[in-house]
Amino acid sequence: MKCPYCGQTDSKVVDSRPAEDGESIRRRRECLTCGKRFTTYETVETLPLIVVKKDGSRQSFEKDKVLKGIIHACAQRPVTMETMMCIADEVEQEMQNSMNREISATRIGELVMEKLKKVDEVSYVRFASVYRQFKDVDSFMEELKKLMEER
């Protein structure tokens, strides 16, 4: 690790502990050349996820977009912000855990719908109506019938 004071790369770790967020490790280091101390943070490196859209275009995954869709579907429903954020986190985690770095937008939508169905059926139907782009009332009714049969 390069010393921010003298620029030398030789240092020793004096103290190591988890950071407040639990996502990284905080290390106190001492430069072996100038003797000054400095702090570094170590985090797990994650590879970026690429979303393959329905039209074949690719863009980087943004959890905020998933969360925005969930918030929109859950508007005026008894679903807490914490629950919505948890759903978005779980979707992201499942995608990170998969061996694929490219995930189809379809798969993301399916994951969100699976989780919304367990939390709030109305929010699930709202999300499905936008995600599946129901063309008419009949296709909407089909989805509602499936939901009723699963009960």
What amino acid occupies position 37? R
pLDDT at 140 over 80: no
80-104 pLDDT tens trace: 999 999 999 999 989 988 888 899 9
Helix (H, G, I), strand (E, B) or coil at 19: coil
Give the pLDDT score at 97: 87
pTM: 0.65
Question: Do strands 50-52 and 58-60 pair parallel, antiparallel, or not at all (unpaired)?
Answer: antiparallel
* Mean pLDDT across 104-112: 92
pLDDT tier, 135 (very low <50, low <70, confident <90, very high otherwise) = low
Tell me the pLDDT of the chain averaged across its residues: 89
